[in-house]
Amino acid sequence: MCGIAGLCQTDGSPLPQEAGPWVRAMTDRLAHRGPDGSGLWLDGPVCLGHRRLSIIDLSGGGQPMRSTAGELTVTFNGEIYNFAEIKEELLTHGARFQTSSDTEVILEAYRLWGPDCLARFDGMFAFALWDAPRRRLFCARDRFGKKPFFYTLQQGRFHFASEVTALEQLPGLALTLDPTALMRYLAYEYAPTPQTMYKEVVSLPPAHWLLLEEGRLRLERYWDMPVPDEDETRPVPELCAELRHLLARAVRRRMVSDVPLGVFLSGGIDSTIVAGLMASQSAVPVKTFSIGFSEASYDESRYARLAAAAYGTEHHERVLSAAQCADTLPEIISSMDVPMADASVAPTWLLSGVTREKVTVALGGDGADELWAGYEHYIGFKLAERYNALPAALRRGLVEPLARLLPSSAGYINPRLAVATFLRAAAAPAWQRVQTMLTALGPDTQAALLSPALREQAPDLLAPENLFAPTRQAYEHWQPPQAATPLARAFHVYVRQFLLDDILVKVDRCSMLHSLEVRAPFLDKDVAAFAARLPVRYRLHGCKRKWLLKKAFADLLPKEILHRNKRGFQIPVAQWLRGRLRPLMEDLLAPDTLTAQGLFNPTAVRGLMDAHLSGKADLRKPLWTLLVFQLWWHARRNGRGPEV
């Protein structure tokens, strides 16, 4: 796992002498991603930089790396898990290797197959490869976007880096706040790919490659999620056996490391399966890591201990208070290169720190919830169709009034808020339903919240069809329309948006801030394709989530874990905003601060705060989303930008 950065003159002319120091400044900003070494390579129109976290071939894997013949040079972030198999195939075609690194496999695979090499890679990666004979720069990102790649085309140069903050180190670049990205951030709690918070900076979409040649950029998708096969007729035991084989192989491939490795163990279904498969394939006890909370209502560490005992792991646990978690949040959010309003960033960051004390690589369960229907929202999507089939008089005259009488709670689940969210989602068109359940600030709220000056910069964006256009594109992605059911399309929305820009960003940034590599067996290309091809009923069976996954591993999972409901990291955001984090919120959302900033309506923001602080409404999501943006904004303003 590493950090990459670089420059390329679009017209092929030599870079200025300052290019080396510019790229060095970018890679220095990425030192947390690669504390074990740095490298720089400059040749004519291109300069590639690298920061290394040594995982495989500790002595011979330095980068940027050149091919044996010297015509290709690459800077690479990530891992190619099946590099040994690809290397064997390349040897039969006459390839020669100088190292045992997976990086060199990328060079030789590209030399032989060109962009088609990506179809063979099973991994998490982002890389830039200079093809000197063809005078072109070839860049790519993995299928699910586990590794980041940002770029901007300015001043006659293509600039790229693993994090946006690295691009901020370059002199003279325009970095201006994108009002459409801000509005979408407020709705999604992140800026959806390919947008970033800067007008000029783009995030390379997952499963895409980019080619810069003769001054032109070409972007192309190289992989897509399969459409569910509704004609699947194999017996359930056969499907379970195939899933076990694929996931066991995925875990085994991700256990290849020249440095110590372990596993994040929450005690949920997904991480417990990974830990169990690791334990069954390891000659020594597996190291497992979890955090717990001293407050009993938020602590689920007993499930992690139960799984650790079942598999005989070397378990490491750190017990924290919710107050400690809250106190770290400003530091964590200010360190992120992109604003992301997922409050579980705090325990993820803390868990990464605990894990890095013992190992350099950790496996986790990321991707299983999105691919196997782990979230309650999948059930909500399904039930919405049935709810809408009820007579309108019953829905509007009885159900909706009763919903407003439900109790409100500042705890993990607020019944009134949950039902109100479901009713809004049920009333939305099918393509918008998933995002309606996840949205922090919808169009109506934003219309009152945003300053008139900001709204004038994107006057039509607050129409739902425009604000949520990325969701509609993800939902309607497969063609023809009958290729997938509405519920199958909801899976695609989760994978191509929430997984990509929330879960994977959170894990990547939190782990990398501690120089820890995290691997995701559930996002193995064959495991993910197997899940995606299954008819939805095998993943959400009635209202039973992860149905086939649980069947396949029922004998491996402790019964208490097999039958427990999914719970994410429980963060008491509603209470924090009324207590421990209130002074910070009052400061960053103060009228004078907002007036000077010019983005938000101070009166409307104050109204949200007063309603939440008085207990009249649970506005944790919109207020938290605003607070995270303010923390990010002020951290960036103290650095380079953005300009408005």
- Catalytic positions are 2
In sequence order, which residues have a C-beta less than 8 Å from that of residue 283 and are 6 or more positions away? none
Q: How many residues does the chain have?
A: 644
Specify binding-site residues for ATP.
291
Query: Which residues does the annotation place in the binding site for L-glutamine?
Result: 102
Distance CA 242, CA 443 (A): 45
Give the integer Cα–Cα distance in Å for 420 and 396: 13
Q: Distance between CA atoms of 620 and 617, rounded to whole angstroms?
A: 9
Q: Strands, DSSP E only, in 10-144? A: 37-43, 46-52, 65-66, 72-80, 123-131, 136-141
DSSP annotation string for 144-206: S--S--EEEEETTEEEEESSHHHHTTSTT---BB-HHHHHHHHHHSSPPTT--SBTT-EEPPT
CA atoms within 13 A on the CB side of 187: 29
Cβ atoms 264, 363 nearer than 8 A: yes
Type and span of the H or E element at 553: none
Say if residue 21 is preceded by a cis peptide, omega within 30 of 0.
no
Q: Which amino acid is at 271?
A: S
What does the H/E/C string look like for 497-548? Answer: HHHHHHHHHHHHHHHHCCCCEEECHHHCHHHHHHHHHCCHHHCEECCEECHH
Residue 62 amino acid letter:
G
Closest CA relative to residue 45, chosen from 107, 135, 126: 135
Work out the number of other CB atoms within 10 angstroms of the CB of residue 356.
18
Q: Could you tell me where the DSSP H helices lie in 534-619? A: 547-552, 559-562, 573-578, 582-588, 591-597, 602-613
Task: DSSP letter for 644, please.
Answer: -
Task: Report d(CA 374, CA 490) in Å as an integer.
Answer: 13
**Tokens 């976290």 correspond to what residue?**
53
Query: What is residue 31's DSSP assignment?
Result: G
User: How far is CA 47 from its chain centroid?
Assistant: 28
- Residue 196 CA to residue 214 CA, distance in Å, equals 26
205-240 as b/e: b if 16+ CB within 10 A: bbbbbbbbeeeeeeeeebbebebbeeeeeeeeeebb
Half-sphere exposure of 170 (CA within 13 A, CB side): 27
Cβ neighbours of residue 83 closer than 8 Å, sequence gap 6 or more: 102, 105, 123
The H-assigned helical ranges of 204-268 are: 236-253
Q: At what angle do helices 602-613 and 620-637 cross, to 10 degrees?
A: 130
Q: Which residues contact 164 (CB under 8 A, 6 or more apart)?
A: 150, 196, 197, 198, 201, 337, 338
Task: List the binding residues.
Answer: 102, 291
